[in-house]
Amino acid sequence: MNPLATIVLLPLVAGTLLCFAFGRDNSPARRLLTALVAGAVTLTALGMLLSLAPQVFAGQTLVAHTDWVPSLGLSIGWRLDGLALMFALLITGIGSLIVLYAHFYLAESDPAGKFYTLLMLFMAAMLGIVMSDNIMLLVVFWELTSVSSFLLVGYWGHKEEARAGARMALAVTGGGGLVMLAGFVLLGQIAGSYELSDILQRGDVIKADPLYPVMLVLILVGCFTKSAQVPFHFWLPEAMAAPTPVSAYLHSATMVKAGIFLLARLYPAVGGTDLFEGIVASFGLATVAFAAWVAIFKHDLKGLLAYSTVSHLGFITFLIGLNSPLSAVAAVFHILNHATFKAALFMSAGIVDHECGTRDMRRLGGLLRLMPWTATFAMTAAAAMAGIPLFNGFLSKEMFFHEAVEATMFWGAAVPVVATFAGVCSMAYSLRLVHDTFFNGSPKDLPADAHPHDPPFGMLAPVALLAVLCVVVGVIPALTYGPLVEVAARALLGGDTPDYHLALWHGFNLPLLMSGVAVVVGAALYVALQRVFRLHGYTPRAFSGKATFTCLIDGLFGFAGRLTARFENGSLQRSLALMVAFAIVLAAAPFWAADTLPGTGPRELMPASPLALAVWVLLLASATMLVLTHHNRFQALVLTGVVGLVTAFTFVGLSAPDLALTQLSVEVVSTVLLLMGLALLPQRTPFESGALRRGRDALLAVFAGGGVAGLTWLMLTRTHESISWFFLDKSLSEGGGTNVVNVILVDFRGYDTFGEITVLGIAGIGVLALLDGFRTRRPDADPDGRRWAYEEQPLLLRVAARVVLPLALLVSAYIFWRGHNVPGGGFIAGLITAVALVMQYMALGQARAEALLHGAAGRRFSRWIGSGLAIAGLTGIGAFWFGRPFLTSAHGHPALPLLGELPLASAAAFDLGVYITVVGATMLTLSVLGAASKEQHG
């Protein structure tokens, strides 16, 4: 398999399945095993990436394609260029640290299998996003990250805040993803391809298209929701209810960077315009400053880090938005730097929480003494976050200031001012994090069982590694992240990078001055806030994005509830009436809209025979009578039977012998069935509908009936064009039968028939499920007070039934056999057999007939259904032996002694399956009902 696909599929398939299988048992040994498997999968993916890295560093873009739905332009395409490589290394690199950390972080009672399974799923989804070459495939992975992050944030599902946070994250990022999908469809239409390889080449065409602004805004909504840009930022702090490894992984290093990744990925295609710069850089700039300011006032360690993350995401968004090649370099550099120090800080926050039982900075303090190693690493990472020289964050922040000064946006001089303000806040919150946690007195009100000290090595090691990296990169950037930044920036720009120099010292310049101002003023700001404004006493105001979101969602739910209540008050009658009315309106709408109403068509009419006229009068009379007197249920049932007979008669008169036979036999069994049902129901329908209700229903009925009649008339008077002539032509030559209806059923459209007998079987099983074991007491007397008679069935009937049974079976065998050529076939033969068997029930009584047929209260007939379906299915599968598609039939005309030439088609075996299923389903329905009404007398 292609190595690119393997990198994604490894965690997606092997990772999830193995972690799930090993993690079902939560014993310590299994927990370790699960973590080891997750680690091995992650490291393997990382290793494969590293083995491919030299090719990417050499300037190649690795691409692999497999067709998926070629007719829709969909393919499964993978792509590994500098940008994808950088992100993929980040995902697998930080991922392996998270696997290690989480093993020590999770409590014994937390299910490790669930955690690692979801983590693998998420990792696969992220790798899928960054390595997709098809944008539709990218959307699939994009939504998969939303779903898996929903599950990870809600990992502690017993906590209300976890569920609420997970739901909000899903609503915002998933919803944004849908908007983005619309943008992607537009992008694909404009570019004429859904492959990134093509799209990235067609930037000029795309940007010149009139739909470009619409498409851009749609895609940006997706990016901004995912990467938590103002005003969509509020879900990220709420998602902090997640276990800390999840926050460290999803909400600092990877998922929230997906939006930024996409901006970078599509930059050559959609970026570089004034519109792009205006929107993206402005939102980025607003986010940097706003979130950095808010972060200072968060008392929760993770809350502070969450807002800091939002701020840094804005930082990167701003840089990508700017129309300057150098800013692209700064952006990718900061993606790496931010992931490094922020993951370390989240993990430190997790350690503090783990050891102290709280993350509230008002209660923490003085932890430097109690956990010196954690404090050292956390302070290192915090220094990087604040942008102190010698740490990696300083370098990208200098570049940020440089770009802010050089920016030629319409905000003018405001840009460097806002940027410096963000730097000030950044310094202030970093200082607060360090001071409130590790200095500032000693811990207060900790839980009684908390004895803070440095955690086990496995939990500390990932933090240590990242903290060391912060310093090393801060001192020698060009030798560490340098090459990766170069290839990633190249891929982002879709061309060469400008001259730049990653180094600690650039001389005395304006950015250095801004950095100095940020550090000094930031420190002063913090001291002032703490001393003068008593920061610890601050409580946030009620207005927030979260409150707005909750308000909107509640409003939506309330609206939906009121709307539903208006139409649905629990009455099925009302729902049905609305449905009929809606159907009438829907059917009438095209006529309403038409310029000229269609009239009678040109087809020559068929004169009505006197007999037809008489039948028509009978039909109208009996149907009318039925409606008028339906309160007498028995009479209504008989009149329904009359309508059924007229239906059968219509089939006879209009050249459909097969249908007439079917209708007749169905009429018999269904009348018996309805009679059996009626015996257990009240014999009369009460008069309870008011005149208004009856009038409304009559109006609906007349409109529905009139509409159907009109439609039928329009169709019948028009000339006839049909695909059926094909069947008439090929029936004998390819289906081996002259009864075209039967050949269609068992051969041409055999697959449909197979589906239909399956439905039949399901209905039968459904009946069994409804009434199995159900016994209802039948009233002893009819409504007029006459007692039911329980005498033995008349002798004549019993004898006649016995004589008729073999004859009827013979007839159905004959009907079955001849069905391929003249009217008949499995359906009709099955119904005739059922009629004959029903007669046995009537003549011998339920108990004796059951005993004869081994019906077991109808349950056994499910075996008939099963075997019938099996025979039909196996006949169909049989065609595979000959390399033909499912249900291809074969036929021949073997000559047998005595019988002469026999038309034999494999379709006959299929028809046998139909026959058995029909008998089974019919008998099951009747038998279950019969068993339900067991007579109560002695």
Partner 1 sequence: MSLFANISMEFLVASGIGWVTACGVYLMLRGRSFPVVLGLTLLGYAVNIFIFVMGRLWSAAPPILGQGDVQADPLPQALVLTAIVIGFATTGFVIELALRSRAESGTDHVDGREPGA
Binding to partner 1 (CB under 8 A): which residues in 192-231? none
Residues 906 to 935 in contact with partner 1, rule: CB under 8 A: 918, 921-922, 925-926, 928-929, 932
588 binds partner 1 (CB under 8 A): no
Between 533 and 616, CB nearer to partner 1? 616
463 binds partner 1 (CB under 8 A): no
Rule CB under 8 A: choose which of 213, 561, 677, 794 binds partner 1. Answer: 677
Specify the DSSP class assigned to residue 777.
Answer: P
581 binds partner 1 (CB under 8 A): no
The amino acid sitting at 208 is: A
Between 414 and 652, CB nearer to partner 1? 652
706 binds partner 1 (CB under 8 A): yes
640 binds partner 1 (CB under 8 A): yes
Rule CB under 8 A: choose which of 163, 362, 546, 633 binds partner 1. Answer: 633
DSSP for 231-296, please give it: TSTTHHHHGGGS-HHHHHIIIIISTHHHHHHHHHHHHHHH-SSHHHHHHHHHHHHHHHHHHHHHHH
Rule CB under 8 A: choose which of 16, 145, 426, 662 binds partner 1. Answer: 662
CA–CA separation, 481 and 86 (whole Å):
10
SS3 category, 366: coil
Rule CB under 8 A: choose which of 516, 540, 558, 766 binds partner 1. Answer: 766
608 binds partner 1 (CB under 8 A): yes
Q: Of the listed pieces 224-232, 290-298, 330-338, 680-688, which binds partner 1 according to CB under 8 A?
A: 680-688
DSSP for 61-75, please give it: -EEEEEEEEGGGTEE
823 binds partner 1 (CB under 8 A): yes
Between 252 and 663, CB nearer to partner 1? 663
889 binds partner 1 (CB under 8 A): no
Residue 645 C-beta: closest distance to partner 1, Å: 10
109 binds partner 1 (CB under 8 A): no
Residue 874 C-beta: closest distance to partner 1, Å: 20
CA–CA separation, 763 and 907 (whole Å):
24
CA–CA separation, 465 and 101 (whole Å):
12
CA–CA separation, 269 and 816 (whole Å):
67
Q: Of the listed pieces 91-99, 429-437, 771-779, 871-879, which binds partner 1 according to CB under 8 A?
A: 771-779
Place of tokens 């702090």: 237
Bridge partners, residue 80, by sequence: 62
669 binds partner 1 (CB under 8 A): yes
682 binds partner 1 (CB under 8 A): yes
Rule CB under 8 A: choose which of 678, 809, 842, 879 binds partner 1. Answer: 678
Q: Burial level of 766, CB count in 10 A (0-12/13-18/19+)?
A: exposed
605 binds partner 1 (CB under 8 A): yes
698 binds partner 1 (CB under 8 A): yes
Residue 159 C-beta: closest distance to partner 1, Å: 39
Bridge partners, residue 353, by sequence: none
Residue 169 C-beta: closest distance to partner 1, Å: 40
Mask: binding to partner 1, 540-579, rule CB under 8 A, as x and -? ------------------------------xxxx--xx--
Q: CA angle 413-415-416, nearest 5°?
A: 80
632 binds partner 1 (CB under 8 A): no
520 binds partner 1 (CB under 8 A): no
Residues 776 to 795 in contact with partner 1, rule: CB under 8 A: 776
CA–CA separation, 753 and 876 (whole Å):
11
Between 504 and 645, CB nearer to partner 1? 645
Specify the DSSP class assigned to residue 746.
Answer: I
Q: Look at residues 404, 381, 402 and name the one whose alpha carbon lies nearest to residue 473.
A: 381
DSSP for 624-666, please give it: HHHHHTTTBHHHHHHHHHHHHHHHHHHHHHTT-HHHHHHHHHH
Between 43 and 581, CB nearer to partner 1? 581
CA–CA separation, 403 and 367 (whole Å):
38
β pairing state of 895-896 and 900-901: antiparallel
Q: Of the listed pieces 282-290, 713-721, 792-800, 869-877, which binds partner 1 according to CB under 8 A?
A: 713-721
Rule CB under 8 A: choose which of 2, 197, 544, 717 binds partner 1. Answer: 717
846 binds partner 1 (CB under 8 A): no
722 binds partner 1 (CB under 8 A): yes
Rule CB under 8 A: choose which of 446, 822, 842, 879 binds partner 1. Answer: 822
CA–CA separation, 576 and 519 (whole Å):
71
Q: Which residues of 548-562 are buried (b: 16+ CB within 10 A; e: fewer)?
A: ebeeeeeeeeeeeee
CA–CA separation, 861 and 925 (whole Å):
9
Q: Of the listed pieces 211-219, 330-338, 633-641, 898-906, which binds partner 1 according to CB under 8 A?
A: 633-641
701 binds partner 1 (CB under 8 A): yes
**Count, residues near partner 1 per rule CB under 8 A:** 115
674 binds partner 1 (CB under 8 A): yes
Q: CB-based contacts of 811: which residues, under 8 Å, 6+ apart?
A: 832
Between 8 and 745, CB nearer to partner 1? 745
Between 434 and 743, CB nearer to partner 1? 743
Return the C-alpha torsion angle 446, 449, 451, 457, nearest 10.
-120
Q: Residues 129, 250: contact at Cβ < 8 Å? A: no
643 binds partner 1 (CB under 8 A): yes
CA–CA separation, 135 and 601 (whole Å):
51
Q: CA angle 329-335-336, nearest 5°?
A: 95
CA–CA separation, 333 and 260 (whole Å):
13
Residues 610 to 629 in contact with partner 1, rule: CB under 8 A: 610, 612-613, 616, 619-620, 623-624, 626-627
Q: CB-based contacts of 530: which residues, under 8 Å, 6+ apart?
A: 432, 435, 536
Residues 723 to 762 in contact with partner 1, rule: CB under 8 A: 723-724, 727-728, 731-732, 738-741, 744-745, 749, 752-753, 756, 759-760
Residue 759 C-beta: closest distance to partner 1, Å: 6
Q: Of the listed pieces 231-239, 251-259, 344-352, 717-725, which binds partner 1 according to CB under 8 A?
A: 717-725
Between 570 and 900, CB nearer to partner 1? 570
Residues 291 to 330 in contact with partner 1, rule: CB under 8 A: none
Residue 688 C-beta: closest distance to partner 1, Å: 6
CA–CA separation, 912 and 746 (whole Å):
10
861 binds partner 1 (CB under 8 A): no
CA 918 to chain centre: 37
821 binds partner 1 (CB under 8 A): yes
> Using CA of residue 435, residue 441, residue 447, residue 453, what is the dihedral sign?
positive
